[in-house]
Amino acid sequence: MRPEGYYEHFSMSITDSISRLSGYYSRNGFAATIRRASLAARRALFSNRMVVFYCDLATQKLPMAVPPSQRKVEYIKGFAELKPQDLHMMTSFWNPELAHRNISERFAKGAWLWLIKSGDDLAGYGWSLRGLTIEPYYFPLASEDVHLFDFHVFPQYRGQGMNPLLVGHILHGLARNGVSRAFIEAAEWNEAQLASLRKTPFHQLGQVSSFAIFGRKFIHWTGNENGERPQETKQGGSNAPAMARTHEQ
């Protein structure tokens, strides 16, 4: 039996991929699009695991990162609060139509958008969503769990510690709001995001890959060498599966 929304999600993913590719083509031309598509195919075939991280906000002592002057972090809970220039920054570097749709869908589901500013300029952003995920996840989240997703630092600000600063602030903000565990993941090929997350209070939970056999979706976990596990919460909840285990989703 498929989870609710499985087919809608599957067909939307394909439509979105086509839409993203055509947007990339109109901005960058044929040769660059072929290079990009072949890189995406290589990653999908040979480097498709995700590295999942967690942070126990209830028990872990979080160091407070003081932002250098000129930098500040803020969060918003709805489209109306998003300044036009920030919206433009967030939507103009890829398919604007798809980007608008994603932002609306996320706010509608209750996600918070976290912005890191350098002066008045938007340097980067990331999203948090409590108790659920936008797309099907590897395990169910508990009501006091939060998923962090879609982090982006604009190219001119990369390598300056913006992302760790933003993530650190988000974790503090969430802890103040009664969240007990946070989860985030990065593709195994994404060295920049992996290096960046290792500068934050997140711990690696394991690596996960998903695959389909005869239309059934399976999740395979490996590689939590330290045996680290997030704390169980009162409600139980997310309970990420034991490592080196395959289960059907």
Ligand X SMILES: CC(C)(COP(=O)(O)OP(=O)(O)OC[C@H]1O[C@@H](n2cnc3c(N)ncnc32)[C@H](O)[C@@H]1OP(=O)(O)O)[C@@H](O)C(=O)NCCC(=O)NCCS
Residue 19's DSSP bridge partners are none
**Pairwise CA distance, residues 7 & 112, whole Å:** 27
Number of residues that bind ligand X (CB under 6 A): 19
Contact in structure between 132 and 174 (CB atoms under 8 Å) = no
Question: Would you say 119 or 227 has its CB closer to ligand X?
Answer: 119
Question: Would you say 13 or 143 has its CB closer to ligand X?
Answer: 13
**Pairwise CA distance, residues 91 & 226, whole Å:** 39
Residue 57 is a binding residue for ligand X (CB under 6 A): no
**Pairwise CA distance, residues 126 & 185, whole Å:** 13
Query: Helices (DSSP H) in 50-184: which residue ranges?
Result: 84-92, 96-108, 162-176
Site for ligand X (CB under 6 A): which residue of 74, 105, 150, 228? 150
Site for ligand X (CB under 6 A): which residue of 196, 204, 224, 238? 196
Taking residue 95's Cβ as centre, other Cβ atoms within 10 Å add up to 19
Nearest to ligand X by Cβ — which residue? Answer: 159
Residue 192 is a binding residue for ligand X (CB under 6 A): yes
Question: Would you say 19 or 160 has its CB closer to ligand X?
Answer: 160
Question: Would you say 97 or 191 has its CB closer to ligand X?
Answer: 191
Give me the least distance between CB of 236 and ligand X, in Å please.
Answer: 28
Q: What's the token pair of residue 49?
A: 């695991």
Residue 48 is a binding residue for ligand X (CB under 6 A): no
Residue 110 is a binding residue for ligand X (CB under 6 A): no
Residue 220 is a binding residue for ligand X (CB under 6 A): no
Site for ligand X (CB under 6 A): which residue of 81, 191, 228, 232? 191
Residue 153 is a binding residue for ligand X (CB under 6 A): yes
Site for ligand X (CB under 6 A): which residue of 67, 96, 136, 161? 161
Q: What's the token pair of residue 54?
A: 């967690």
Closest CA to 182 of 168, 195, 192, 193: 168
Residue 193 is a binding residue for ligand X (CB under 6 A): yes
**Pairwise CA distance, residues 207 & 74, whole Å:** 31
At 101, the amino acid letter reads R
Residue 151 is a binding residue for ligand X (CB under 6 A): yes
Residue 193's DSSP bridge partners are none
Residue 164 is a binding residue for ligand X (CB under 6 A): yes
- Please measure the distance between the N-terminal and C-terminal CA atoms of the chain and give it in whole angstroms: 10
Q: Any long-range contacts for 159-163 (C-beta under 8 Å, 24+ apart)? A: 161/199, 162/71, 162/116, 162/118, 162/123, 162/124, 163/124, 163/126, 163/193, 163/196
Site for ligand X (CB under 6 A): which residue of 41, 195, 242, 244? 195
Site for ligand X (CB under 6 A): which residue of 43, 158, 220, 229? 158
Contact in structure between 134 and 105 (CB atoms under 8 Å) = yes
Question: Would you say 158 or 220 has its CB closer to ligand X?
Answer: 158
Given the rule CB under 6 A, which residues bind ligand X? 150-153, 158-164, 186, 190-193, 195-196, 199
